[in-house]
């Protein structure tokens, strides 16, 4: 909608009391957005996944999240990372923030070839790394081929 269109003009002509009432109704419907800086965001942290022959590695970007604010769980083959990103507190009046704060969760369905009892988690510089080993029977392996030695009485006739 562009400025100058009838609907846009009607919004700008609303009284402050009506705008406050609209904001309260919106806040009640979708959560508080009353301040320009105090927004909260329930979001999925960015994730990278890669694998090799013996394990799957999952990395989640969780900058500013403390170890105590993270929970890693697995249930019915679904790996879930949940946490809470707390806003930083400063003296003074907030002017602007693009930070995303609040609770988040990310779930990944794991293949049955993975050993969910082997999951290891490490938090380093805002990156949570999860390492999950493959079950021994699911790991690829190379099978050596033996050469059978022939005995003298098995030599072919010439």
Q: What is the pLDDT of residues 43-63, one digit of tens each?
A: 678 899 998 878 999 999 999
| pLDDT tens per residue, range 86-132 | 877 788 877 777 677 788 888 989 988 899 999 999 999 999 999 99
User: From CA 85, how far away is CA 66, in angstroms rounded?
Assistant: 8
The reply to whether 145 falls in a domain is no
DSSP state of 35: S
Distance of CA 61 to the CA centre of its chain: 7
| 121 lies in some domain | yes
Do 49 and 29 sit in the same domain of this protein?
no
Residues 48 and 82 both lie in one domain = yes
**What is the biggest distance separating any 2 CA atoms in the chain, rounded to whole angstroms?**
109
Alpha-carbon span 27 to 51, nearest angstrom: 43
Tokens of 88: 């930083």
143 occurs within a structural domain: no
Question: pTM to 2 decimals?
Answer: 0.59
Range of the domain at 20: 1-38
């Amino acid at each position: 909608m562009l400025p100058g269109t009838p609907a846009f003009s009607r919004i700008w002509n609303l009284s402050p009391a009506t705008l406050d009432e609209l904001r309260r109704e919106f806040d009640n419907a979708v959560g508080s957005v009353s301040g320009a800086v105090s927004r909260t965001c329930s979001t999925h942290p960015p994730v990278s996944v890669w694998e090799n022959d013996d394990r799957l590695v999952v990395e989640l970007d969780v900058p500013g999240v403390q170890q105590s604010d993270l929970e890693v769980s697995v249930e019915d083959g679904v790996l879930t990372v949940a946490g809470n990103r707390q806003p930083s507190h400063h003296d003074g009046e907030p002017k602007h923030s693009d930070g995303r704060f609040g609770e988040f969760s990310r779930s990944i369905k794991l293949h049955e070839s993975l050993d969910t009892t082997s999951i290891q988690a490490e938090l380093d510089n805002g990156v949570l790394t999860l390492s999950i080993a493959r079950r021994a029977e699911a790991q690829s392996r190379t099978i050596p081929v033996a050469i059978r030695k022939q005995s003298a009485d098995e030599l072919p006739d010439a």
